Amino acid sequence: MSFTTPTPAPARLNRSELAVPGSRIELFEKAARSKADAIFLDLEDAVAPNDKEQARKNIIAAINDIDWGDKVLSVRINGLDTHYMYRDVVDVLEQAGDRLDLIMIPKVGTAADVYALDMMATQIEAAKGRKKRIGFELIIETALGMQNIHEIAGASKRNESLHFGVADYAASTKAMTTGIGGPNPHYGVLTDKDGDNPRDYHWGDMWHYAIARMVVAARANGLRPIDGPFGDFSDPDGYRAQAARAMVLGCEGKWAIHPSQITLANDVYSPSEAEVTKAKRILEAMTKAQAEGAGAVALDGRLIDIASIKQAEVMVKQAEAIAA
C-alpha cells in the first residue's frame, strides 16, 4: 500500500438512483414509495426553462413534506454556466430541511467548479445553522470534465460520488450517436480477414474508456462511481447488460430514468448468493492458510492469495450493506 490512503465517502447504498423531474409533482410520492436506493429530484435538463422556478418550489416543499423513508435524497441543480444555479443552491439549502443528503452538480468541468459550490454550501450552512453537511454528487459528462476528472474527484471533502452522464458526454465529445447509453452498431470489430474462420462482426462497448476512467478517479479519492442513464426503458435486457458491464469495472450503481429500471439496477448491483458464498469460502480458506503460515494456496483448482481477501471482502461488504 502507498503511504497515502483515500478517505472513503460516507457509506451509502447507491445501487439504483431514480431521476425525478422537479416539475412533475405527481411522481414524487411514487418515487418515495419505490425500491430505489437513492433519488435525485431534478432542476436541470428534465425541467423546461419556464418551469424552473416552480420546480424549485415543488422540490423544497417535497423535501420538507414527503416521507422519503431511508432513501438517499438529492437535488440536481442547474449548471454553473446558467443563472439558475445560484438560486437553486441558495433556495434549496436555505429552505429545505436536513432530510436532504446531497446536491448533484451537473457538467462539472474543473476542480474550481466544485470549489465554488463548496464555498456557497459552507456559507449557507453556517449562516442558517444547518446541522447536516451536504454532500456532493458530481456528473462527469463533458470532455472538459473527463479531462480534469482526477482533480475534480479530489476537489472537496463534500464529494461522495462521480456519475457518468452519457448523453451530454456523447454530445460534448461529438460522438455520432443519438442513443442514451448502451452500445452503437457502428462501434464494432470485424474478425480477421485472412484466417480460416468465417468473418464475424462484434459490437464493442463505446463507453468502456469513460467508465473505466471514472472508476479509477472515484476509487482513488474514496468516492462511489455510478453509471448514468440508459434511455431506452423498453429494453430491460440492454439495461441489464450495460449495468453489468459497469458493475464488473467497479461501479456501485446506475441511474433509473424510469421506475421499471429500479429493480434491474438493484438486481445487477446485488451480488448473488452463489457469489457471496464463494467469497466467504475464499475468506475462510485464507484464514486457514494464514494460520498455517501460507500466503498463497489453491481453492477449487485456482490460486488464491492475500489479494483475494480484499477482493472477496468487496463482495461480502456489499452483501452486508444490502442486508442492513
Residues in contact with Mg ion by CB under 5 A are 141, 165, 168
Single residue of 37, 42, 168, 227 touching ligand GLV by CB under 6 A: 168
Return the HEC string of 258-281: CCHHHHHHHHHCCCCHHHHHHHHH
Backbone angles phi, psi at 218, to 5 degrees: -65, -55
> Rounded CA gap, 160 and 195, in Å?
49
Binds 19, which of ligand 1VU, Mg ion, ligand GLV, none (CB < 5 to 8 A, cut-off by type)? ligand 1VU
> Rounded CA gap, 90 and 60, in Å?
11
Residue placing its CB nearer to ligand 1VU in the complex, 255 or 269: 255
Residue 283 in 3-state DSSP? helix
Reading the block at residue 232, the C-alpha cell is 431506452
Residue 51 interacting with ligand 1VU (CB under 6 A) = no
Residue 145 interacting with ligand GLV (CB under 6 A) = no
Single residue of 167, 251, 265, 282 touching ligand 1VU by CB under 6 A: 167
Residue 271 interacting with ligand 1VU (CB under 6 A) = no
Q: How far is the CB of 127 from ligand 1VU (least distance, A)?
A: 31
> Rounded CA gap, 268 and 17, in Å?
13
Binds 259, which of ligand 1VU, ligand GLV, Mg ion, none (CB < 5 to 8 A, cut-off by type)? ligand 1VU
**201 conformational bin, left if phi > 0, alpha if psi -120 to 50, beta if neither:** beta
Q: Which of residues 17-36 bind ligand 1VU (CB under 6 A)?
A: 18-21, 27, 30-31
Residue 139 interacting with ligand GLV (CB under 6 A) = yes
Reading the block at residue 20, the C-alpha cell is 425525478
Residue 137 interacting with ligand GLV (CB under 6 A) = no
Burial class (CB in 10 A: 0-12, 13-18, 19+), 222: middle
User: Applying CB under 6 A, what is the total number of residues that bind ligand GLV?
Assistant: 9
Candidate ranges 163-171, 192-200, 235-243, 278-286; the one touching ligand GLV (CB under 6 A)? 163-171
Residue 175 in 3-state DSSP? coil
Neighbours of 96 (CB within 10 A): 21
Q: Which of residues 95-114 bind ligand GLV (CB under 6 A)?
A: 106
DSSP-derived secondary structure for 122-143: HHHHHHHT-SSPPEEEEEE-SH
Single residue of 113, 141, 227, 252 touching ligand GLV by CB under 6 A: 141
Residue placing its CB nearer to ligand GLV in the complex, 6 or 259: 259
Task: Provide the binding-site residues for ligand GLV, judged by CB under 6 A.
Answer: 106, 139, 141, 165-168, 228-229
Task: Provide the binding-site residues for ligand 1VU, judged by CB under 6 A.
Answer: 18-21, 27, 30-31, 42, 45-46, 167, 180, 229, 231, 257-259
